[in-house]
Amino acid sequence: MTETVIGHRTARIDGELKLTGKADYAADHNLPNQVYGYPVPSTIACGKLLGLDLDEARQAPGVIDIVHRGNFPQLQPSDNNPACGAAARLYRSPSTMGEENKVGEVRLPFEDDGIHYEGQYIAMVIADTFEHARAAARLVKARYEVHEAVPGLFYTDDEGEEAGDEAVSRGDPAGAFDAAPVKLDQTYTIAMETHVAMEMHASIAHWEGDRLTIYESTQGVVFQRNALAQIFGIPPEKVTVIAHYIGSGFGSKLFMWPHAVITAVAAQRVGRPVKTVLSRQQNFCNAGNRPASRQHMRIAADRDGKLLSIRHDSYNETSFVDEYTESIGSGTPRVYACDNVSVSQRRVKVNHGTPTSMRAPGEVSGSFALESAMDELAIALDMDPLELRRRNFADRDPSADLPWSGNHLRECWDDASRRFGWDQRNPQVGSMRDGHEIIGWGMADATWEAMRSHCSARVELRADGRVQVACGTQDIGTGTYTIVAQTASELTGVPLERIEVKLGDSMLPAGPLSGGSMATATVMPAVAGATRKAIERLKQLAVAEGAPFAGKEADALEFENGALSDGSQTLSFAELLDKLQRGMAEGEASAAPGEEKDKFSFRSFGAHFVEVRWDPGISRLRVARVVSTIDIGRAINPLTARNQVEGAIVMGMGMGLFEATEYDPAGNIYNNNYADYIVPVHADIPDIEVELLDSPDYNFNEFGARGVGEIGITGMAAAIANAVYHATGKRIRDMPIKIADLMEP
């Protein structure tokens, strides 16, 4: 029997390439004759661009061209604007998920003379070197008409616009609330956050005739290909998007941003490849963010803690140039059993760059309010917060009237609380002390929907004894290369060293976005299907006339450990192909979710237990310990899976304690760099003890895997805030927690 690789801790197969610098990230590519683009950002938040003074920049050393509104192809045919050169016209991407052409910002670069946020591109300088381009970009002078900005959600009373499709209602939440004996009515906020992925956004665009090739740090080569095809009005086959390695994205690289379009147009204008690497500052303004949010939470329970009503009304920021909806309440109707629930979502336009998905978008924000409110309710009921959750466990998905495919939340509670020692908790606020420090213990649930998309893959069993797997998805650092290899290895019995995985190229069979924690569950079935087809093809070749197994039934042959056998004769696929003088036996397959989603509700659950330490004498707050148990179905690669959960927990600490992208009253960004945007560093990261339940979800796919990238961040901010309350008696409803909030007056 083939040795199993799935379910085993497997080091990343691309680890060595990364450690030795051989992994080619987008900005590592240099094409012959390449020149460099450097965008010029707006320095005001709101107003009108009256004009650009380009003379000085044009005369700067090395400058080749400057693209801007005056010479950039527009939505209208521009026969009357010969300055526009080759692409006389651009189109808008429909920007839909369904058509897989969603973009980060639907407004085309330079589309109007409005300035909608600070950092919005007003021009891009093209020069022979990066340094020349940057120096010249700083010589571009802009004249603005400055308007008063809406500097952010917390600066405005605007109620915004309702996102109707987010609204959910069941039962009579208002009536049940009014009649309930125990209730809570509170507002929670979360500051804007920025993804700050290590690798900067970058595009290298290159035209050969009407064919566009673009290297991009993207979480979706297929989406970007489709979007570019739409924008340039060319068939998707003429666009190639390449992203072999990505230095993470956390959502900011799911959908294409304007710099890629400007770079592609610039490459067309100058007739040479153009490379644009955004600066860290530009990454903060022009490549998405988790929008600031405000949540009005009203929940009520009976005296035994049974939830009677939940109303969760949320607001998120969006920009003036796109409509971004954060589905903040999307988990609320599902997590706990409650008959009377309503959820709503509103968008408020502010002068910030367009928000986008950021790790566990929506639910992580919603879980902060819901899990904080549960803690507050437990205190109002004088009940242990874990016990309150137990009393509201949902046996079925209460929002869909479907059974769970697998809800192991109770085991998560049992396991994590035991390992944490929760039964030692003294519920009295401030009662647990150690020297100068007050210890606080808090907990919260984690949850994330299990999603799956469609995917194609191609597998080649090659005459040299190697197996090549190709799929047009990409590995953003999470370990997709490894999981694809594990799948092929499991089914062929060929060791990982002889499996070669090709990802990150839109010319490969179309694969999914690396987002929504769905890559593993989406890609594995397609890779398995393609592997089986390749094996099938090998068998057909083996039994053909004149072949080694001629005359046998293909079905009677066994394929094991990379070899075909009929019981008497065994030949490795390499030997067989060699005898047949064939280069390969190949298979291609597609897989998509089927009717299982009408039968079950798929969702992952988990629980975080957190210890904080508050030293009131010096106002020092630290997270001292995190114990989490998470059910993700089957962990295909427990090594990288745990890595995802730990990383997400650290990011959740960021949301709870540090991260805030701040805009001042003028609408100008304040902390657009790694020094001023505070994220946890190693010294902040305590022992994180993660346990992954091994409970395969075979209803979801044949491998039993659900996603793992996002669930770990959900609930973390609440678990911290709940622990902080336990230590200090201060309920902080605005994330991140600042020490000033906790200091005694």
Partner 1 sequence: MRHFAYQRAGDVAEATALHGSDRSADFIAGGTNLIDMVKLDIMRPERLVDVNRLPLTAIESLDDGRLRIGALVTNTDLAYDERIQADYPVLSEALLSGASTQLRNVATTAGNVMQRTRCPYFRNPSRPCNKREPGSGCGALDGINRNHAVLGVSDKCIAVHPSDMCVAMAALGATVTVEGPSGVREIPFEEYHLLPGDTPEREHALSDGELITHVTLDAPITGAKGHYLKLRDRASFEFALASCAAVVTMDGDTVREARIALGGVATKPWRSFEAEAALSGQPASEATFKQAAEAALAGAVAHRDTAFKIPLAKQAIVRALTTVTAQ
Q: Is 429 in the site for partner 1 (CB under 8 A)?
A: no
CB of 658 to partner 1, least distance (A): 6
Check 100, 387, 710, 744 and give the catalytic one.
710
Q: Can residue 131 be called a binding residue for partner 1 (CB under 8 A)?
A: yes
Q: Are 717 and 652 in contact (CB under 8 A)?
A: yes
| Burial class of residue 258, CB neighbours in 10 A (0-12, 13-18, 19+) | buried
Q: Yes or no: say if 196 and 674 are a contact pair by the CB < 8 Å rule.
A: yes
Single out the residue of 4, 30, 43, 76 in contact with partner 1 (rule: CB under 8 A).
43
User: Which of these ranges, 177-185, 372-380, 420-428, 616-624, lies near partner 1 under the rule CB under 8 A?
Assistant: 616-624
**433-442 burial code (b ≥16 CB/10 A, e <16):** eeeebbbbbb
Selected range binding partner 1 among 106-114, 125-133, 157-165, 405-413, rule: CB under 8 A: 125-133
- Identified binder of partner 1 from the candidate list 4, 59, 96, 129, rule CB under 8 A: 129
Of 592 and 743, nearer to partner 1 (C-beta) is 743
By CB under 8 A, tell whether 599 contacts partner 1: no
- From the list 9, 22, 138, 303, which residue makes contact with partner 1 (rule: CB under 8 A)? 138
Tell me whether residue 497 is one of the annotated catalytic residues: no
Q: Could you say whether residue 494 binds partner 1 (CB under 8 A)?
A: no
- Which letter, b or e, does each residue of 107-121 get, where b requires 16 or more Cβ atoms within 10 Å of its Cβ? bbbbbeeebbbbbbb
Beta strands in 569-726 (DSSP E): 570-572, 584-591, 603-615, 620-631, 687-693
Cβ(519)–Cβ(457) under 8 Å? no
Give 1 or 675: the residue with its C-beta nearer to partner 1: 675
Query: Residue 228, Cα to own-chain centre: how many angstroms?
Result: 21
Interaction of residue 617 with partner 1, rule CB under 8 A = yes
Number of residues counted as binding partner 1 (CB under 8 A): 34
**Residue (264 or 621) nearer to partner 1, CB:** 621
- Cβ at position 73, least distance to partner 1 in Å: 28
User: Minimum distance between the CB of residue 43 and partner 1, rounded to whole angstroms?
Assistant: 4
**Residue 10: CB minimum distance to partner 1, A:** 32
- Report in angstroms how near the CB of residue 743 gets to partner 1 at its nearest: 6
Task: List C-alpha distances in Å: 10 to 20, 96, 246, 514, 637.
Answer: 19, 36, 20, 20, 6
H or E segment and range at residue 186: strand 182-190
H helices present in 544-689, as ranges? 573-580, 596-599, 638-653
Q: Is 147 in the site for partner 1 (CB under 8 A)?
A: no
Q: Report the site for partner 1 in 58-87 (rule: CB under 8 A).
A: 61
Q: DSSP class of residue 154?
A: G
Q: Is 670 in the site for partner 1 (CB under 8 A)?
A: yes
Nearer to partner 1, 115 or 705 (CB): 115
Q: How far is the CB of 130 from partner 1 (least distance, A)?
A: 9
- Estimate the share of the chain in helix, then strand, then coil, as percent rounded to the nearest 5: 30, 30, 45
Q: Could you tell me the two tokens for 692?
A: 């992954």
Cβ 678 to partner 1 shortest distance, Å: 6
DSSP 1-33: -PPP-TTS----TTHHHHHTT-S-BGGG---TT
Q: Does 619 bind partner 1 (CB under 8 A)?
A: yes
Q: Does the protein bind partner 1 through residue 39 (CB under 8 A)? A: no
Query: Near partner 1 by CB under 8 A, which window of 195-203, 347-355, 468-476, 669-677?
Result: 669-677
Nearer to partner 1, 621 or 692 (CB): 621
The verdict on 743 binding partner 1 (CB under 8 A) reads yes
**Segment near partner 1 (CB under 8 A); pick from 9-17, 131-139, 363-371, 407-415:** 131-139
- Kindly state whether residue 500 participates in binding partner 1, applying the rule CB under 8 A: no
Binding status of residue 103 toward partner 1 by CB under 8 A: no
Shortest Cβ 425–partner 1 spacing (Å): 25
Q: Of the listed pieces 69-77, 124-132, 393-401, 559-567, which binds partner 1 according to CB under 8 A?
A: 124-132
Nearest CA-CA partner of 414 in 438, 450, 389, 436: 389
Q: Which stretch binds partner 1 (CB under 8 A): 84-92, 99-107, 516-524, 736-744?
A: 736-744
Tokens describing residue 299: 């929940």
Contact assessment for residue 392 and residue 306, using Cβ atoms and an 8 Å cutoff: yes
User: CA–CA separation, 206 vs 140, rounded Å?
Assistant: 25
Q: What element of type H or E holds 122? A: strand 121-127
Nearer to partner 1, 278 or 467 (CB): 278
352: its two tokens: 């910030």
CB of 138 to partner 1, least distance (A): 6
Cα–Cα distance, 329 to 312 (Å, whole number): 6
Least distance from partner 1 to the Cβ atom of residue 147, Å = 17
List 620, 687, 702, 729, residue binding partner 1 (CB under 8 A): 620
- The whole-angstrom separation of Cα 534 and Cα 100 is 28
Give the whole-angstrom CA distance, residue 572 versus residue 714: 47
Which residues are paired to 47 by β-bridges? 115, 146
Contact criterion met (CB below 8 Å) for 145 and 48: yes
Give the binding range for partner 1 (CB under 8 A) out of 74-82, 527-535, 544-552, 734-742: 734-742
Q: Is 132 in the site for partner 1 (CB under 8 A)?
A: yes
Nearer to partner 1, 187 or 671 (CB): 671
The DSSP secondary-structure symbol of 377 reads: H
- 624 is an interface residue for partner 1 by CB under 8 A: no
622 interacts with partner 1 by CB under 8 A = yes
User: CA distances (Å), 527 to each of 6, 118, 572, 739, in order?
Assistant: 13, 44, 21, 50
Q: 693-724 in b/e burial notation, b at 16+ Cβ within 10 A?
A: bebbbebbbebbbbbbbbbbbbbbbbbbbbbb
Query: Which one, 563 or 657, has the nearer CB to partner 1?
Result: 657
The span of 252-260, 378-386, 446-454, 614-622 binding partner 1 (CB under 8 A) equals 614-622
Q: How far is the CB of 639 from partner 1 (least distance, A)?
A: 27
Q: Which residue's CB is nearer to partner 1, number 128 or number 566?
A: 128
The nearest distance, CB 653 to partner 1, in angstroms, is: 10
Q: Report how far apart the first and last C-alpha atoms of the chain are (Å, whole number).
A: 69
CA angle 123, 129, 130 (to 5 degrees): 60
DSSP, res 654: I
Count of positions (residues) in the chain:
745
Cβ proximity to partner 1: between 235 and 665 the closer is 665
Residues 644-663 that bind partner 1 (CB under 8 A): 657-658, 662
- Minimal distance, residue 685 CB to partner 1, in Å: 9
Which residue's structure tokens are 């659900």?
706
500 φ, ψ (degrees, to nearest 5)? -115, 130
Residue among 81 and 668 whose Cβ is closer to partner 1: 668
Q: Which of 208, 423, 545, 618 binds partner 1 (CB under 8 A)?
A: 618
CA distances from 731 to 276, 372, 626, 719, 725 (A): 45, 9, 20, 12, 5
- Residue 674-713 contact track with partner 1, rule CB under 8 A, x = bound: -xx-x-xxxxx-----------------------------
- Scanning 67-75, 547-555, 635-643, 737-745 for contacts with partner 1 by CB under 8 A, the matching segment is 737-745
Taking alpha carbons only, the member of 284, 257, 266, 27 closest to residue 125 is: 266
Question: Site for partner 1 (CB under 8 A): which residue of 178, 387, 664, 687?
Answer: 664
The contact set with partner 1 (CB under 8 A) reads: 43, 61, 129, 131-132, 134-135, 138, 617-620, 622, 657-658, 662, 664-666, 668, 670-671, 675-676, 678, 680-684, 738-740, 743
List the catalytic residues.
710
